[in-house]
Amino acid sequence: MKKPLILLLITLSIMQNWLFFAFVLVAFYSYRYGSGILIPVAILLDGYYGNYYHVPYLSLMAIVWYGFVSFACSKVLSLRSITP
């Protein structure tokens, strides 16, 4: 139940232009549950705003964010595996 609620809050924050709050929620969600589901949310938001007629920047940002989080997690994991 928490996951859909946070996703709804992220969507609402972006719609209301509360960008800092949205960023905090995105960071928290990525840390707790991973950032994969944020890509479809970004695609839906871009569709809602009609950005697919121009440049779907939210979707592209979500893909980049997913790549960044995956890279950061892999580095953290490798550090954990090295340290005793």
Partner 1 sequence: MKTQSRLSSKKKPHLKVILIALLVVGLGMLLPKVVSVTAAIVTYPAHAINNWINDSSSLVPSFIRDRRDLENQITELENQLVVAASLDVTQRRLIEENTRLRQLLGKEDEERTLAAVIARPSELPFDLLQIDRGSNQGIEVGAPVFVGKDTVLGLVVYTAPEYAFVELITTPGFEATAFISGPNVAVGLEGVGGGVARVRVPQGIPLTTGQLVYLPSVEPGLFGRISYVENEPTQPEQYGYVTPDVPLSGLYRVGVGKLSQISESPEQIDVNILELMKSKLKVDNVTVGTVGTTSSSTIEEI
30 lines the binding site for partner 1 (CB under 8 A): no
Give the residue among 75, 3, 80 at the shortest CA–CA distance from 34.
3
19 lines the binding site for partner 1 (CB under 8 A): no
46 lines the binding site for partner 1 (CB under 8 A): yes
- Report the alpha-carbon angle 14-33-56, nearest 5: 35
31 lines the binding site for partner 1 (CB under 8 A): no
* Rg, the chain, Cα only: 14
78 lines the binding site for partner 1 (CB under 8 A): yes
Give the residue among 74, 78, 69 at the shortest CA–CA distance from 27.
69
Is the Cβ of residue 54 or residue 84 nearer to partner 1 in the bound state? Answer: 54
Q: What angle do the packed helices 57-82 and 19-33 form, to 10 degrees?
A: 40
Contacts with partner 1 by CB under 8 A lie at 8, 11-12, 15-16, 36, 39, 43-48, 50, 52-53, 56, 59-60, 62-63, 66-67, 70, 74, 77-78, 81
